[in-house]
Every structure is written in structure tokens, then in C-alpha cells.
Amino acid sequence: MFSLPAAHVYYRHLGSDMNDGFHDTICHTDDGGKSTQTRVDKGVRYTMRCLNEILTKLAETPRQRHLARRGVGT
């Protein structure tokens, strides 16, 4: 999301278990479903929190509030 598609992004700051490329290694080689792919879940939740933060800040900018009042983009 914050890099090129299929980029070798590392989320090492999320924990010692995240010391692998997120897309290539974690997403494609961790076995199991949602209950067992805890590293995939951790990385996706992190990126969604980041997206939420960006969208919240964008919505709070004066220009965006002005446009929203005028119905632009709705």
C-alpha cells in the first residue's frame, strides 16, 4: 500500500516474528488460514491503521471540510 506492488517491505518494528519480506515471504509462504496466519493478520491490520490515520488527517484538513460542505466528492 505504501510501496510498489509486490515490493519487499519489512515490518520489523511490529515484532521479532516479522523479520521477513511481508509480501513475498509472509503472505505467500505462511501456512494456514486467518487463525494461523498471525503474521499476515498483523501486517494487514498495521497497514489498515496507517490508512485510517491518513484518511482521518485528510478529512480534518480545512480544504476537505470545505469541499465536503459543498457536496464535492460525495
Q: What letter represents residue 4's amino acid?
A: L
**Which pLDDT score, from 0 to 100, does residue 49 have?**
93
What is the reported pTM?
0.72
**Which pLDDT score, from 0 to 100, does residue 3 have?**
65
Residue identified by cell 485528510 is: 58
Residue identified by cell 496466519 is: 37
Q: What letter represents residue 41's amino acid?
A: D
Tell me which residues of the chain have a pLDDT lower than 70.
1-5, 34, 64-68, 72-74
To the nearest whole percent, how much of the chain has pLDDT over 90? 36
